[in-house]
Amino acid sequence: MRTLNLLVLSSLLLAGASAWAQPQPIYRPGPPPMPMPGMPMMPNPAQERFCASRHQILVQQRQQGDAYRGEMNNIDTELAQLQRRMNDLGARRAELQNLVGNSDQQVQAQQSVIDRDCAGRIHGCGAYDSMVDQLERERGPIEAELKQLHADAEGSRRDVDRLTRQIQPLSQEFQAKSCNNLVAGSTDQGIIDRCSAIFSEWNRGQAEVNQQNNRVMALRNHYEQLLGQMRGLEQRANGYAKFMTQNCPGSRREVVVRGYGDVRGRAEAMQQQLDQIANSVQQLKGARIAIGIQ
Is residue 264 within 8 A of residue 143, CB to CB? The reply is: no
**Domain spans, the chain:** 127-294
Most confident of 33-47, 99-113, 132-146: 132-146
* Predicted local distance difference test score (pLDDT) of residue 20: 45
H or E segment at 42?
none
Question: How many Cα atoms occupy the beta-carbon half-sphere of 23 within 13 Å?
Answer: 3
pLDDT cut 90: percent of the chain above it: 11
pLDDT digits (tens, 9 = 90+) for 160-211: 999 999 888 888 888 888 877 777 667 777 887 888 888 888 888 888 888 8
* Predicted local distance difference test score (pLDDT) of residue 17: 47
Higher pLDDT among residues 220 and 256, named by residue: 220
Taking the C-alpha atoms of residue 79 and residue 93, their distance in angstroms, rounded to an integer, is: 20
Is residue 267 within 8 A of residue 225, CB to CB? The reply is: no
Is pLDDT of 222 > 80? yes
pLDDT digits (tens, 9 = 90+) for 16-43: 545 444 444 444 444 445 555 555 556 6
Is residue 141 within 8 A of residue 257, CB to CB? The reply is: no
Is residue 254 within 8 A of residue 244, CB to CB? The reply is: yes
CATH of 127-294, one of 1.20.58, 3.40.50, 1.10.1740, 3.10.290: 1.20.58
pLDDT digits (tens, 9 = 90+) for 245-286: 877 777 777 767 767 777 777 778 888 889 999 999 988 887
Is pLDDT of 119 > 80? no
Is pLDDT of 223 > 80? yes
Q: Can you spell out the DSSP letters for 153-188?
A: HHHHHHHHHHHHHHHHHHHHHHHHTTGGGB-TTTS-
Alpha helices in the chain (DSSP H): 2-21, 45-117, 125-176, 189-247, 252-258, 260-268, 270-286
**Cα 166 to the chain's mean position, in Å?**
16
Mean pLDDT, the chain, whole residue set: 77
